Chains A and B, each alone.
Chain A
Amino acid sequence: MCEPTTIAVISALGSAAATGMSMKAQQSAVSSQNAANNAWRAYQQDQRQKEGLRQDELRGKAEQARQQGLEELNPQKQQEVRAGEENRLATEIMANTNVNQDVGGQLLAGERSGGEAIQNDFASRMNQASSDARKRLTALAGVQSYGGSFGGMKNYGTEALARSDQGINLANNMRQGSLGAYGLAKGVAPPSQQPVKDPYGGIASSLAGIAGTAFGTAMQPGAGATAKPLAATTPYTAFSPPANFGLGFAGPSVRA
């Protein structure tokens, strides 16, 4: 049998060592948790940054398409386009007629007889007719240029909007898809350690208990260098009923 003091000292030392080990294990766990957290944070930051760049780029493309649409539909630009279309259409329309030919001399050549006065009158009327037709056809080209002619405002506006829409829609579609993929990265959970039983903590606690008991025994009054068997020791009468107001506890006078 060991001395209680020796047991107390050994247990205390063991408990201290176990506590140290427990602390070290905890520190190690905290450290690895921190490292994992840092890695997760860095990953999330990297993903966020990359997604931000992707979104910016796609937003830029959509914005570019929108700007292009706005430029094409700018009132001044539209007016220029319409004026150009009016000229183009007038030329195209006139090309299908004889208004620019010397109709007075050619169109009905040989069909007119009569004197000079009649022929002069005929030429004059024919030129006037051509001039009137030109005016009407120019007006027609002007009207059509506002509407559904080949390059008229209706088609021009529809095409400009369609081009712009296509660019915006494609970029938006890609943005949505990219956000979906980013959602997966965002969903990567931060790593967390599973709590495990710490054996060192239990050992330290047990040893501390033993040390306490042994220390208490060693410090017990009467406990000397020679230990007495428990049965041989003075009955623990310190708390005898008479001395203790009938409550089963004795005062020092009784012990003495």
Chain B
Amino acid sequence: MCMKMSGKAQRLQMMAQMNQEQEAAAQGRQQEEQRQGRLGEGVQAINRLFDPQAIGDGTFSGFDDNFYNNYKKKYLDFYNPEVDKQYATAKERLAFQHADAGTFDSNTANKNFADLTEQYNVGKGQIASKADTAAGELKNQVGQQKNALINQLYSTENPDIATNTALNSVKTLQNTAPDLQPLGDIFKNLVVGGASAYNAYSNPYAKLGNPNANTRAGYNVPT
């Protein structure tokens, strides 16, 4: 009788011990699931703040194309007027120089104006390209920031901290201004004098500065 009780008690004790260990393991599993939940929540929060996505009113949040286009626009708004101004000045100077040289209406002037226009267009194109590259660098920076935040989340496993840090990062990034440096002189001085010399050499009628020259008003090409 005594043995029977002891056997039962032992069986119960054995099962209780195993149940205790199983409960500890189940608790560990539950904690791991909670940790994974926190990670998922944190990653979602970071994605929500960084990735472009439609929100209720039809607009987009996150770093979407509008954000980068605005950044490019800031860049262009700074450089375009400067290039336009330099172009206008160069064109004016060229016109005056040709007028002074008496070659305003000449093939040489046409060539110089055309060269100036090409430089202007290439210059504006380069500005646009640089604005695009700057936006690309910003996009890269946004991506790096997002990665850093996700790695931080893996360390802290706390979505609240991740969200707060992400919010701060987003604010900082949103206020990032392009690195704007003064634009140098992008238009080469077209050597009007040299061009005039060539013109005079190639065109016997272009006897500039000689009042007896047989020039025909408005034309310096052989007729």
How long is the Cα–Cα vector from A200 to B28 in the complex, in angstroms?
44
Q: Is A3 an interface residue (CB 8 A)?
A: no
How long is the Cα–Cα vector from A89 to B26 in the complex, in angstroms?
56
Q: How many A-B residue pairs have CB under 8 A?
A: 207
- The answer to whether residues A148 and B106 also contact, given A95-B128, A125-B111, A158-B140 and a CB cut-off of 8 A, is no
Task: From A43, A155, A185, give the contact of B140 (CB < 8 A).
Answer: A155
- The answer to whether residues A149 and B133 also contact, given A118-B219, A185-B29 and a CB cut-off of 8 A, is yes
| 0/1 string, B32-50, CB within 8 A of A gives 1 | 1001100100010000000
Identify whether the interface residues of A are mostly helix, strand, loop, or mixed: helix
| 0/1 string, B97-123, CB within 8 A of A gives 1 | 000000011110011011101101110
A148 and B136: CB pair below 8 A? yes
How long is the Cα–Cα vector from A165 to B215 in the complex, in angstroms?
75
Identify whether the interface residues of B are mostly helix, strand, loop, or mixed: helix
Q: What interface size band does chain B fall in? A: 35 or more
Question: What distance in Å separates the Cβ of A71 from its nearest Cβ neighbour in chain B?
Answer: 19
Task: From A93, A136, A184, A185, give the contact of B128 (CB < 8 A).
Answer: A93
| 0/1 string, A17-46, CB within 8 A of B gives 1 | 000010001001100100110011001000
A181 and B124: CB pair below 8 A? no
- Residues from chain B with a CB closer than 8 A to the CB of A70 are none
| 0/1 string, A133-155, CB within 8 A of B gives 1 | 10011001100100111111011
- The answer to whether residues A129 and B10 also contact, given A149-B132, A152-B136, A155-B139 and a CB cut-off of 8 A, is no
> Which A residues lie at the B interface, using CB under 8 A?
21, 25, 28-29, 32, 35-36, 39-40, 43, 47, 89, 92-99, 103, 107-108, 111-115, 117-118, 121-122, 125-126, 128-130, 132-133, 136-137, 140-141, 144, 147-152, 154-155, 158-159, 162, 165-166, 169-170, 173-174, 177-178, 180-182, 184-185, 187-189, 191-194, 196, 198-200
- List 6 A-B pairs, Cβ < 8 Å: A36-B14, A96-B124, A111-B95, A112-B105, A177-B36, A178-B32
Further pairs besides A25-B7, A169-B150, A182-B29: 7, Cβ < 8 Å: A28-B4, A98-B124, A118-B110, A129-B114, A129-B117, A170-B39, A177-B32
